């Protein structure tokens, strides 16, 4: 296992407020790593520290073998970052933006031109090359932002809430691109998000809340551990069904016309359904979702 | 690396037509006031030039205009730096392996370039104006002097504006400051009104203001084309700000040059101290 980012005891305070409290984690090379948490949980702070933008107060960070605080320049050469807000120049064309940003990495002109063309190809914006950044749509901008982050051929790509504020269709196309980069370029992707369905696609998820790591694991592990599957039945004879459930010792909750029975695994629904046969009009067996897991972990709905 | 950053800054500045226009606003105001109100009032001062009176007074006003342009355009150019900070674009450079000093140097260099280009442009317009009104273009030698003076004047102005900019964190504060500067620069260089009209206290302020020394030199070079400076009575020369009197001492040309060089050095040094200290804090 190759740890490309290692964080230990990371702490950051803003005056009396502790934004990040002594957290440890690592990121495996070539994996898609998601930082999930509500707004203000410390996601951006952590990402900004790793990207050399913010000074940490305590702890150690090693990125691709280089120690943060000592070899910042080396780290900067190896990372690309997509910020929440756009950081490109309105009045410059897509190509000019990419070329200017590419030329501050100390690469030869030829390499910069090559990288610019490659980045535009990967993000599928070659036909926008001569358009001014300010005239692009939200989705086109986002793709250009990602192209900018790829301009130095980074080993690690950071994305801070890459799909916030985009319409569902654009969100999907951005997401497809991210998965493609990981698959075809073997790039390590580190992203923060507060969308459950995005965290679900990651190889590994860390849930951060109030500056501490509340849970970590693969999406499947998190769902297993923190959410329940459930059996929903629509009874024809409500009282009889409830009596049988009580006999079976199953906990349940009632809604308007449904009875919801939490179960450990979907397979546990079978014996119950056998006993209820004849008393129900229909049923549904549902897997736990990341939403459930998130609520299970933090005890709160995701804050928008 | 720095060259590419400078190129980027130049593009960002020149593509935003409105900001280019507004950085020339101070200059446009001076010319407007001169055409509408002031021209007749001060025409009397040009009597000594005889039939070249008009030529001389046009040269006088344009000397002040070109000097004012060097500072207002420098201010406009530094707007890019403030905007980058406010819009957090600067973070994009901070996550790249470009050093802070390279970044700041690129802003200063591009402002100097913009200042020089725009001042030459203004000088071109000034010459056209003079020519249209029956005057003549400057001689080749005077033109070479103007080139040197413009570089010097812009370097000094940029240093001064750079220092001011160090204390401004928002685009709002910056644009307010540049509006104020654009408005009073006409007074501070003695271009709106001949400085002799103003009270002694204001005249002192003018004499301390770095760019007014550039204005003095522009006037000397340009007016000399219309009438030999020695032919002008001393009180007229001082009234129009063609020479500065410190006590009984008339400041020679090299004195003005020295002041421009000196203020450039001092303000760059002060700015570097401020910028370095700020970086330490954050």
> In chain B, what residues touch A88 (CB-CB under 8 Å)?
89, 92
Closest alpha carbon within chain B to A101: B93
Burial class (CB in 10 A: 0-12, 13-18, 19+), B173: middle
* CB-based contact, A291 to chain B, within 8 Å: no
Tens digits of per-residue pLDDT, A206-242? 998 888 998 899 988 888 788 778 888 888 888 888 8
Beta bridge partners of A63: A5, A66
Determine, for residues A52 and B11 on separate chains, whether the beta-carbon distance falls below 8 Å: no
Nearest to B97 among A51, A91, A105 (CB): A105
pLDDT at A113: 94
Determine, for residues B92 and A51 on separate chains, whether the beta-carbon distance falls below 8 Å: no
Closest alpha carbon within chain A to B92: A87
pLDDT at B282: 46
pLDDT range class, residue B140, cuts 50, 70, 90: very high
DSSP B198: S
Nearest to B88 among A85, A100, A104 (CB): A85
Beta bridge partners of A60: A8
Q: Other CB atoms closer than 10 Å to residue A150's CB: what's the count? A: 24
Q: Please report the ipTM that was assigned to this predicted complex.
A: 0.83
Q: How many CA atoms lie within 13 A of A27 on its CB side?
A: 29
Determine, for residues A89 and B89 on separate chains, whether the beta-carbon distance falls below 8 Å: yes
Burial class (CB in 10 A: 0-12, 13-18, 19+), A124: middle
A197-201, A225-229, B78-82, B238-242: segment of lowest average pLDDT: A225-229
Closest alpha carbon within chain A to B87: A87
> In chain B, what residues touch A76 (CB-CB under 8 Å)?
95-97
Tens digits of per-residue pLDDT, B206-222? 888 899 999 999 999 99
Which pTM value belongs to this model?
Answer: 0.85
pLDDT at B45: 65
The domains found in chain A, sorted by start residue, are 3-223 (3.40.50.300), 228-287 (3.30.70.860)
C-beta of residue B76 within 8 angstroms of C-beta of residue B178: yes
Distance from CA of B177 to the nearest CA of A (A): 24
DSSP chain A: --EEEEEEEEEEEETTEEEEEEEEEEEETT-EEEEE--TTSSHHHHHHHHTTSS--SEEEEEETTEETTTSHHHHHHHEEEE-SS--S-TTSBHHHHHHHHHTTS---HHHHHHHHHHHHHHTT-GGGTTSBGGGS-HHHHHHHHHHHHTTT--SEEEEESTTTT--HHHHHHHHHHHHHHHHHH--EEEEEES-HHHHTTSSEEEEEETTEEEEEE-HHHHHHHH--EEEEEEESSHHHHHHHHHHTT---EE-SS-EEEEESSGGGHHHHHHHHTTTEEEEEEE---HHHHHHHHHSSPPP-
Average pLDDT over residues A9-22: 90
CA distances from A127 to A132, A134, A143, A170, B176 (A): 12, 16, 12, 17, 40
SS3 B49: helix
Nearest to B96 among A91, A96, A104 (CB): A104
Determine, for residues B89 and A88 on separate chains, whether the beta-carbon distance falls below 8 Å: yes
Closest alpha carbon within chain B to A83: B92
Q: Where are the beta strands (DSSP E) in B107-196?
A: none
Instruction: Tell me the percentage of chain A whose pLDDT exceeds 70.
Output: 98
């Amino acid at each position: 296992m190759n740890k490309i980012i290692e964080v230990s005891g990371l702490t950051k305070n803003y005056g009396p407020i502790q934004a990040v409290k002594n957290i440890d984690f690592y990121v495996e090379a070539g994996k898609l790593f998601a930082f999930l948490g509500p707004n203000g949980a410390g996601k951006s702070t952590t990402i900004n520290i790793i990207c050399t933008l913010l000074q940490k107060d305590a702890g150690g960070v090693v990125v691709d073998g280089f120690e943060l605080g000592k070899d910042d320049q080396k780290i900067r050469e190896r990372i690309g970052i997509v910020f929440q807000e756009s950081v490109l120049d309105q009045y410059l064309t897509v190509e000019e933006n990419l070329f200017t940003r590419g030329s501050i990495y100390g690469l030869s002109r030829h390499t910069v031109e090559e990288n610019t063309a490659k980045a535009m190809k990967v993000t599928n914006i070659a036909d926008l090359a001569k358009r001014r950044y300010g005239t692009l749509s939200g989705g086109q901008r986002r793709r250009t932002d990602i192209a900018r982050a790829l301009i130095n051929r980074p080993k690690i790509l950071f994305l801070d809430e890459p799909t916030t504020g985009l319409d569902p269709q654009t969100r999907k196309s951005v997401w497809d691109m991210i998965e493609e980069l990981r698959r075809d370029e073997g790039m390590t992707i580190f992203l923060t998000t507060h969308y459950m369905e995005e965290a679900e696609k990651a190889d590994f998820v860390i849930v951060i809340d109030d500056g501490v790591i509340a849970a970590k694991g693969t999406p499947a592990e998190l769902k297993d551990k923190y959410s329940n599957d459930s059996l929903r039945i629509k009874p024809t004879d409500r009282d009889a069904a409830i009596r049988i459930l009580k006999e079976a010792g199953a906990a349940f909750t009632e809604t308007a016309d449904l009875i919801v029975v939490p179960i450990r695994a979907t397979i546990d629904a079978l014996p119950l359904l056998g006993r209820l046969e004849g008393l129900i009009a229909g049923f549904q067996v549902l897997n736990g979702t990341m939403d459930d897991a998130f609520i299970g972990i933090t005890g709160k709905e995701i804050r928008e | 690396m720095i060259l590419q950053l400078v190129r980027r800054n130049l593009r960002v500045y020149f593509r935003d037509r409105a900001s280019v226009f507004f950085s020339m606003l101070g200059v446009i105001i001076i010319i407007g006031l001169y055409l509408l109100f002031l021209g007749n009032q001060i025409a009397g001062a040009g009597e000594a030039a005889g039939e070249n009176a008009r030529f001389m007074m046009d040269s006088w006003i344009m000397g002040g205009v070109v000097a004012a342009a060097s500072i207002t355009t420098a201010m406009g150019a530094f707007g890019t730096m403030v905007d980058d900070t406010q819009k957090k674009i600067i973070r994009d450079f901070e996550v790249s392996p470009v050093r802070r000093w390279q970044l700041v140097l690129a802003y200063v260099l591009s402002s100097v370039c913009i200042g020089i280009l725009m001042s030459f442009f203004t000088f071109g317009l000034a010459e056209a104006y003079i020519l249209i009104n029956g005057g003549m273009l400057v001689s080749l030698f005077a033109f070479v002097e103007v080139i040197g003076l413009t570089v010097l004047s812009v370097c000094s102005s940029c240093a001064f504006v750079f220092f001011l900019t160090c204390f401004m964190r928002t685009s709002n504060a910056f644009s307010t400051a540049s509006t104020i500067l654009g408005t009073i620069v006409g007074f501070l260089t003695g271009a709106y009104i001949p400085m002799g009209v103003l009270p002694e206290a204001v005249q002192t302020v003018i004499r301390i203001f770095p760019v007014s020394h550039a204005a003095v030199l522009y006037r000397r070079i340009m007016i000399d084309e219309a009438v030999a400076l020695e032919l002008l009575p001393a009180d007229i020369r001082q009234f129009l700000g063609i020479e500065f009197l410190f006590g009984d001492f008339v400041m020679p040309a090299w004195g003005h040059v020295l002041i421009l060089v000196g203020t450039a050095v001092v303000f760059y040094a002060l700015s570097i101290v401020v910028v370095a200290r700020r970086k330490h804090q954050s």
